[in-house]
Structure 1
């Protein structure tokens, strides 16, 4: 593991969680909050953790909480705030609803050499996963342009960045699952116990 890389972990926890009905990052899976599962996976790879959220309940977690700079503007606003507050070029950015993510998987996103990409993102089942990705700090500028134009679609942002895509194995798909609804939570709870 190459630990001399300076990397910031950024967890986006500012979503509305409308489908779940409660704050996703604070939900429990195996008696541990989603946010804690994610920060545990990030910890061996990062120097600092930033949690982007307006909710002071996240202050109890190890990490620095920062609010969205441009409120109610979706994940691009969260990415923008996290990158602006980051002190490092490389940033592992995750949404707060991927509690199954592992350190081993995240390690694949770290640039292997002096790679000149704005972002390194996973792809699984022909879908890119822009909220489990490595973003360079310079992407904050592009986020600001998008937000100024009222554009909130993260995939649109990705299409305009110089991006490297890493396809993950079929058996790894489970680890990148978004847990958006109470049904999703039931599935993983049952799945992990079997």
Structure 2
């Protein structure tokens, strides 16, 4: 079965204040976290990848409103996308994502995410995206009546974020 066409979107525009250095540039297994996430998406069959908050990167898109958080950046991004286009949204700092988790999202026909985890998510651009500015990713999910998928017990570590130097040390 072939999966529906989807654009990968890496959220990489944050200040990385808890990490103390730019998370997208942090090396994991000798590769920048940003490139590691690109590789994960490509391995899942996603060939078109945008990088929010990184205009100098291939597929890079600048933050329209810097320092306002990922929900606002995503909201601006989706407002200019073609109607009904599909976008798999991932954070740059989730290095354990796997193909099965990504593919289950891609197979959905509406906005979707996993229980207790607002990211990654599948977003579908529509004229509804132009409504109220969301303050959080959860608010954006709620505004679009996103479905919450059950998380397989075996996949809980998939959603671990690397937000601090301590998180990085544990991951490595």
1:162 maps to which of 137, 145, 150: 145
Moved over 6 A (4+): none
Aligned equivalent of 1:32? 31
The TM-score normalised by the length of structure 2 is 0.87
Please report the RMSD computed on the Cα atoms of aligned residues, expressed in angstroms.
2.0
1:123-138 equivalent positions in 2, closer than 5 A: 123=115, 127=116, 129-138=117-126
Aligned to 1:90: 86
Shift of 1:161: 1.8
Determine the structure 2 residue equivalent to 1:192.
none
User: Counterpart of 1:109 in 2: which secondary structure?
Assistant: helix
Any unmatched runs of 5+ in structure 1?
Answer: 190-194
User: Aligned partners of 2:125 and 2:45: how far apart in 1?
Assistant: 17
Paired residue secondary structure (1:171): helix
Structure 2: where are the runs of 5+ without partners?
Answer: none
What does 1:56-135 align with in structure 2 at a 5 Å threshold?
56=56, 59=57, 63-84=58-79, 86-87=81-82, 89-112=85-108, 115=109, 117=110, 119-123=111-115, 127=116, 129-135=117-123
TM-score normalised by L of structure 1: 0.78
Aligned length: 169
Alignment of 1:16-55 (within 5 A): 16-43=15-42, 44-54=44-54
C-alpha change, 1:41 and 1:85, in structure 2 (3 Å) is farther
Partner SS state of residue 108, structure 1? helix
- Conserved? CA contact 2:7–2:50, under 8 Å: yes
In structure 1, how many angstroms separate the alpha carbons of the residues matched to 2:86 and 2:45?
11
